[in-house]
Amino acid sequence: MTRAPLVALADWRLPGDPFDAVEQAHALGADGLQFDLGGPGRGAWLDAPGTVDRLREACAARGLAPLAVAGNTLNDIGLTAPAGSEDAARAEHVLIRVLDAAAALGAPLAFVPSFRRSAVHDLADLRRTAVVLARAAREAEARGLLLANENGLDPERARALAEEVAVPSFRLLLDTYNPKVAGVDVLALVEATGAWIAPQVHLKDGTAGVVGTELLGDGDGRVWEALAALRAQGSAPDALVLENDYRDGDPRRPALDLARARAHATDPAHTRS
């Protein structure tokens, strides 16, 4: 019998620091957490001396699985920075820190985004991003990790990026609402890139391309249809990670979203709770 996926939260979408996120996730009954590396404007660095060890112990004490480390600060640096530039060196340094933090935390996945300064606008950006990600994916493989990239690319370019990277440990991280924001059909994206989609999927919803306060399934993101499309391709995820914005501190919305995601994880025909 196939095991139901874990239902988890992202610490950067909760109020407070990563240790606060552990307590909130435990109180809400989540199975695990993804963590952000941090950085300027994004909170304290996750890999500050002793922090990862304490966080790993806190997760173990609360029965939470550390699922991934994200390098969201790369949106402020740029994966597409020209080779040899100061920003390119900074980006590669951050990538190694993300991988080392994930390995130390005991998480199976590290992922990096391609938005804002890391966004892929043209073929040159795509090729430069692929070079950087291929190098990082080989480093991930050496650490026993998967490396994923989260982006807003259309199906053809997303597939082209994965093919250009061409490293077995590389994946694409699916967020169920990013395609809507980018004007992309999420079902077409899954069909084109299913073979590369990471085993952890971000769930969020919204209306007309804007993430608001809609519960999962109440917006126009086709959340459950996207998961059904993944399963149809034999790519059932290991973890469903809620990425709606819960930073207002009200526990009711994350509790309701967790219940909906868990009901769907247990019985995919169930889309509401």
pLDDT digits (tens, 9 = 90+) for 66-87: 999 999 999 999 999 999 999 9
- pLDDT higher than 50, residue 1: no
Q: What is the pLDDT of residues 6-60, one digit of tens each?
A: 999 999 999 999 999 999 999 999 999 999 999 999 999 999 999 999 999 999 9
Which residues carry out catalysis? 150, 243
pLDDT at 265: 87
Q: What is the mean pLDDT of the chain?
A: 95
- pLDDT higher than 60, residue 3: yes
Q: Are 130 and 164 in contact (CB under 8 A)?
A: yes
- pLDDT higher than 80, residue 273: no
pLDDT at 271: 54
Give dist(CA 83, CA 131) in Å, integer. Answer: 10
What single string gives the DSSP state of each residue in 188-234? HHHHHHGGGB-SEEEE---BTTB--SPPTTTSSS-HHHHHHHHHHTT
Q: What is the pLDDT of residues 163-200, one digit of tens each?
A: 999 999 999 999 999 999 999 999 999 999 999 999 99
Residue 180: strand pairing partners: none
- pLDDT higher than 90, residue 2: no
**Given strand 32-36, what is the order of strands in its sheet?**
170-172, 146-151, 109-114, 65-70, 32-36, 6-10, 239-242, 200-203
What would the mean pLDDT of 204-214 be, rounded to a whole number?
A: 93
pLDDT at 188: 97
Amino acid identity of residue 8, one-letter, is A
Give dist(CA 232, CA 230) in Å, integer. Answer: 5
What is the sign, positive or negative, of the torsion defined by CA atoms of 120, 121, 125, 130? positive
pLDDT at 233: 87
